[in-house]
Amino acid sequence: MIKIYYVPGHRITREYRLIQQGLENNPRVELVDSAEKSDFIFHFYYVSKHSKHYKTKYDPEKTVLIDYHDSPRWMSGVPCMAYFKRSWVKLAIREHRIIKIPISRPKNCYPISFAIMDEFIINDNPKRDIWLTCTLRVHGRHLNRVRILELLESMKIKGKVQIGELNDGSMRGFNDNKMQDYFRLLKRSRIVVTCNPNPWEGDHRTWEAFASGALVFVDRMFTPMVHPLIDGEHCIFYDISRSGLELLQEKIRYYIDNPTAAAAIAKKGYDFTMKYHRTSNRIDDILGRIT
C-alpha cells in the first residue's frame, strides 16, 4: 500500500473532491492523517495566492502538487517532486483561426485531466428520447461555445432536442434537484455535443457526457492522456474552423439518421471511459509517474 497524506483543503471544490474521491477509491492507496506517516504528500492548489491559505511547509521530496487552475500560465511556487497541471494548452493563431497548442513545461511537470466522478453516474435508465443535447454555458471568453450553439440552432434538427443552457452551471451541490435533472437529461440523450472553454482545455462537461452513455461530440483536445480517446471509436472529435464546423454538421446528421452506428460508438466510449477515466484512474496516472 502507498501511504498518502492529502493536505486538507482551504475550500472543498469539485476538483479537490475529485482527487479525494480517487484516493478513497484507489485500492493501492492508504490515506494517513499526517505528512510524517506518508510516502507522498498530495497538495492541491486553491487560488493563485497559494501561500496565503497554505502556510505549512512540507518536504519537497515527498510533495506532489495537483493544479487544476484554469490558467495555463499560472503555476504554484510550492516546492515539489512532481507537478500535475490540468491546463496544458494555450491559444494560438494558425491559418487565420484560433487553435490550441501545448505549453512547454518543466521536466517534473505532467498533464492531468478531469475524470468521471461518482456523482456523474445515476442509476436511472430512462428511454433515450432526446435526439441531441448541448447545454453549454456561455459567457464572454467562450466564443467557441457560442459558435457551436449557433450552429446547432441553425440546423433545425427535427425531433426532441435540448440546445442552450439548462441551469446556472453550478455544481456546488451534486444532489441538488437541478443537477440530478441535468444528469438525467444527459442520460436521455442519444447525442451530447460539448465544447472546451476557449482560453484553456479540460472541463467537467466532457466527462459528464461520457458518464451518460450518449455519443459524445467534443472539440479536438491536445492535452496528453495515459489512455487517449480515439476519434470514431470512443467519441467524435471536431475542429473549430469553417470546414470543421461544416463537417460537424454532416456527422451530426449522419449519426441522427444512423442510430445503430451512434449507439455502437457511444457504448465503446462509455465502456472505455468507465474503465480508464474514473477518479481512481487519475490517481493511477499520478502514481505511475512518481513510483
Lowest mean pLDDT among 58-62, 190-194, 241-245: 241-245
pLDDT per residue as tens digits for the range 140-164: 667 889 999 999 999 999 989 999 8
Mean pLDDT of 212-237: 96
pLDDT of 84 reads 97
State the pLDDT confidence band at 167, using cuts at 50, 70 and 90.
low
Q: What percent of the chain has pLDDT over 70?
A: 91
pLDDT of 98 reads 63
Model pTM above 0.85: yes
Mean pLDDT of 244-264: 97
pLDDT of 222 reads 87
CATH number of 121-276, picked from 2.40.110.10, 2.60.40.10, 3.40.50.2000, 1.10.1530.10: 3.40.50.2000
Q: What is the mean pLDDT of the chain?
A: 90
Among 70-74, 91-95, 158-162, 234-238, name the most confident range: 234-238
Mean pLDDT of 157-173: 75
pLDDT of 264 reads 98
pLDDT of 169 reads 46
State the pLDDT confidence band at 62, using cuts at 50, 70 and 90.
very high
What are the residue boundaries of the structural domains of the chain, listed by start? 2-116+279-290, 121-276
Q: Are 189 and 212 contacting, i.e. CB atoms less than 8 angstroms apart?
A: yes
pLDDT of 113 reads 95
Closest Cα partner for 200 from 226, 230, 172, 221? 221
Neighbour-count burial of 1, counting CB atoms closer than 10 A to its CB (0-12 exposed, 13-18 middle, 19+ buried):
exposed
State the pLDDT confidence band at 73, using cuts at 50, 70 and 90.
confident
Task: Give me 23's grid cell.
Answer: 484516493
Paired sense of beta strands 40-44 and 29-31, if any:
unpaired
Q: What percent of the chain has pLDDT over 90?
A: 67
Q: Which residue has the cell 487517449?
A: 228
Q: Are 111 and 223 contacting, i.e. CB atoms less than 8 angstroms apart?
A: yes
State the pLDDT confidence band at 168, using cuts at 50, 70 and 90.
low
> What is the Cα–Cα distance from 289 to 291, expressed in whole angstroms?
6
